[in-house]
A and B are shown apart, each in its own frame.
Chain A
Amino acid sequence: MGHGRVEHPEPRKRACDPKMRGAPTRLWARGQGDGFLPYAMVAPLVVFIGALAIYPTVLTVIEAFVHIDPLTPPDHFVGFGNFKDIFANAQVRQSLENTGWYALFGVALTVTLGTCTALLLQRPFRGRGLMLAIVVLPWALPGVVEGVIWSWIYNPTVGVLDSVLKSLHLIGQYVLFIGSHQVETILLISLVQVWQITPLAALIVLAALQSVPDELYEGAAVDGAPWHRVVRSITLPLVRPALAIATVEALVMSLNIFDQVYVLNANATTGASIMSATYFITFQDLNFGEGYALSLLATVITVVLAVVAVKLIYRKVEYP
């Protein structure tokens, strides 16, 4: 033990010595970078991301302007032709409108319910660990499974939702929830996704809540402030960055909603999302050109809205 320690100063000094630059054993020395090793360490990641994320994205951008039809080759450049086609398609237009509803319901419900859940979990109590596990559970389940178990809840002839509403006399007879009315269908499918992603919002907000210093609350308690004033004046402003993250996550996920739509709506127009329309256009109708155009449009919408949301909510933090 003693021996090793005695010798530190020497190699350290040599490491800093400009004359030692380039010596292979001292590549991590100051001002030198760490030699070849870091490149080897990041290479696999860079290859993966380059080949299977960035290259495909570039392909999407290019192919959106190409006519691709496996039945009538060759592929050729068509400018905005694919975009004209998708906008002429009534199903696509409805899926764009529907996705607006999905995003609205998804963000509003997820952020509200997530924040309420986080406020309930904020202070320690017995059984909080178990409660956290219960809250996290829906987040950990596959979206398809959730679609399947909720479709049974929504079942129009023997479902539990109809049964409860009827025994509460809220409906006279069993009703069809999914597929009869556009906004109702979207709300109920969105609710399944909200069930899945609310835990994420709750955990993000909870982490921020727990970093709020106790003294602030103690001061408010001394002043006799009511709880809703405490929440509005102390809690919410301090967790705003977390709310921004939760909002953006909910926004991106609801703009990408697919699994729940696939199970509950299949390829009906009523509740189609952009993602489900893209899937059916591309892999059922084999219209790759339109699929690419819709993909590019959706990518741009997602990225732009996410950036705008971050900017809007963060700005309020910087200039209150």
Chain B
Amino acid sequence: MKRKRQALGPGRILGLLVVAMWSLFPVYWALKTSLSTNGAAQQVPVQWFPVHPTIVSYEALFGAGPEAADAAGGIAQSLINIVVETAGATVLTLAVAVVAAYAFARLRFRLKTALFYAVIATLTLPVYATLIPLYRIMSDIGLVNTYVGIILVYTSGFLPLAMWIMYNVFLALPKSMEEAARIDGASTLQAFVRVVLPTAKPGIAATAIVTFLFGWGQFIFPLVLSSSTATEPLTVLLAAIDSRNVPYTIINAAAMVAIAVPAVIVFLLNRWIVTGITAGSVK
């Protein structure tokens, strides 16, 4: 009981500071670089703070200002692409996973165990197993460099984990409310839609957030399946800019654009992320 109220000792404060520095420094460094002039960014020894902060790199990135000609361009389109692809895959993944997870968690049907384990087994499949065949399947049916193609591939990749998290969410819900609803004359489907889904909202939110972050971070699949200007997500464009001869200030500005969305999600919706990760990994 003494333990619980103990104030933080100097050792733990130091440890926490080191952890915070380790987590934040690379992001801070990219932010600082993106707000520096090219000259200031390349000073030796380094300048720890942006002495004369400037947003010229961001202007150049979005096609304005004197350095625009050097920038890669296409970032606006790649932002639209990453949002469409990530949001599309998140919505589709959730729709399919939530419904199926409920059936696995609560309903009885033949082949249930076999189908459940077949789906869970694909959680262990590494990227290697599916990358090349998915490219060939998608090019055979003409879905390379299309939103539909990349959304289908993302969804198939995110489904097992989303289903597994939702399965655990449904198992943890009390059965009594559904039973009451059924006794009051609701069908299984009605009980699911009107009683279970509203109760499972926090779990659904956690799954959606984790799925969205997965989608935002995708790289090898879009690199192979959607690397045309019209469909490449920000991650693929960023790797392309990085390999060209573009000033580091602009590269770091592009990186900050890709960091902004997940960073906002982490700081605003952190609680759900922790729930989602924990629900997906325990057991």
- For B128, list chain A residues within 8 Å (CB): 60, 256, 274-275, 278, 294-296, 298-299, 302
Residue pair B235, A136 in contact (C-beta under 8 Å): no
| In the bound complex, CA of A49 to CA of B258 (Å) | 29
A116 within 8 Å of B by Cβ? yes
Residue pair B270, A133 in contact (C-beta under 8 Å): yes
| In the bound complex, CA of A59 to CA of B182 (Å) | 45
B229 within 8 Å of A by Cβ? no
Find the A residue at minimum CB distance from B97.
A45
Q: How far is the CB of A154 from chain B (nearest CB, A)?
A: 11
Interface string of A145-188 (1 = CB under 8 A from B): 11111111101011010010011000000100000000000000
Residue pair B188, A262 in contact (C-beta under 8 Å): no
With A49-B122, A49-B159, A275-B128 already in contact, the answer to whether A207 and B109 are too (CB < 8 A) is: no
Residue pair B267, A133 in contact (C-beta under 8 Å): yes
Q: How far is the CB of B25 from chain A (nearest CB, A)?
A: 8
Give the contacting residue for B270; candidates A12, A52, A129; CB below 8 A: A129
B45 within 8 Å of A by Cβ? yes
B224 within 8 Å of A by Cβ? yes
Residue pair A258, B219 in contact (C-beta under 8 Å): yes
- For B100, list chain A residues within 8 Å (CB): 41-42, 44-46
With A45-B96, A142-B217, A158-B42 already in contact, the answer to whether A153 and B130 are too (CB < 8 A) is: no
B155 within 8 Å of A by Cβ? yes
With A60-B133, A275-B127 already in contact, the answer to whether A120 and B19 are too (CB < 8 A) is: yes
Residue pair A125, B251 in contact (C-beta under 8 Å): no
Residue pair A49, B156 in contact (C-beta under 8 Å): yes
B176 within 8 Å of A by Cβ? no
Residue pair A152, B129 in contact (C-beta under 8 Å): no
| In the bound complex, CA of A275 to CA of B130 (Å) | 12
Binds B, one of A30-38, A77-85, A89-97: A30-38
Residue pair B189, A37 in contact (C-beta under 8 Å): yes
With A34-B107, A37-B189 already in contact, the answer to whether A53 and B97 are too (CB < 8 A) is: no
Give the contacting residue for B252; candidates A143, A152, A266, A282; CB below 8 A: A152
- For B251, list chain A residues within 8 Å (CB): 148, 152
Q: How far is the CB of A217 from chain B (nearest CB, A)?
A: 6
With A117-B19, A140-B262, A141-B217 already in contact, the answer to whether A39 and B109 are too (CB < 8 A) is: yes
Which chain B residues (1-58) contact chain A, with CB distance < 8 Å? 1-4, 6, 8, 12, 15-16, 19-20, 22-24, 26-27, 29-30, 33, 41-46
A103 within 8 Å of B by Cβ? no
| In the bound complex, CA of A262 to CA of B203 (Å) | 35
- For B238, list chain A residues within 8 Å (CB): 144-145, 148
Find the B residue at minimum CB distance from A155.
B248
- For A132, list chain B residues within 8 Å (CB): 270, 274
Give the contacting residue for B109; candidates A34, A60, A157, A279; CB below 8 A: A34
Residue pair B163, A282 in contact (C-beta under 8 Å): no
Which chain A residues (6-29) contact chain B, with CB distance < 8 Å? 8, 11-12, 28
Residue pair A149, B112 in contact (C-beta under 8 Å): no
Q: How far is the CB of A98 from chain B (nearest CB, A)?
A: 15
Find the A residue at minimum CB distance from B251.
A148
B230 within 8 Å of A by Cβ? no
- For B282, list chain A residues within 8 Å (CB): 204, 207, 242, 245
Residue pair A131, B97 in contact (C-beta under 8 Å): no
| In the bound complex, CA of A296 to CA of B2 (Å) | 55
7 cross-chain pairs, A with B, having the tightest CB-CB distances, nearest first: A52-B156, A56-B133, A45-B100, A41-B103, A142-B217, A38-B109, A59-B133
What is the interface of chain B, defined by CB distance below 8 A to chain A? 1-4, 6, 8, 12, 15-16, 19-20, 22-24, 26-27, 29-30, 33, 41-46, 95-97, 99-100, 102-104, 107-110, 112, 115, 118-119, 122, 124-137, 152-153, 155-157, 159-160, 163, 182-185, 188-189, 213, 216-220, 223-224, 235-236, 238-239, 242-243, 248, 251-252, 254-255, 258-259, 262-263, 265-267, 270-271, 273-274, 277-278, 281-282
What is the interface of chain A, defined by CB distance below 8 A to chain B? 4, 8, 11-12, 28, 32-34, 37-39, 41-42, 44-46, 48-49, 51-57, 59-60, 63, 116-117, 120, 123-125, 129, 131-138, 140-153, 155, 157-158, 160, 163, 166-167, 174, 195, 199-200, 203-204, 207, 214, 217-218, 221, 242, 245, 249, 252, 255-256, 258-259, 262-263, 266, 274-275, 278-279, 282-283, 288, 291-292, 294-296, 298-299, 302-303, 306
**Can you name 25 A-B residue pairings with CB atoms under 8 Å?**
A33-B109, A42-B99, A52-B130, A52-B137, A55-B133, A57-B129, A59-B137, A125-B8, A133-B267, A137-B27, A144-B219, A144-B258, A148-B254, A150-B26, A152-B33, A203-B274, A203-B277, A217-B3, A245-B282, A252-B124, A256-B127, A278-B131, A298-B128, A303-B125, A303-B126
Known: A45-B97, A135-B23, A306-B124; 12 extra A-B contacts, CB below 8 A, are A39-B109, A42-B99, A42-B100, A42-B115, A138-B23, A140-B213, A140-B263, A140-B265, A148-B30, A152-B33, A204-B278, A262-B220
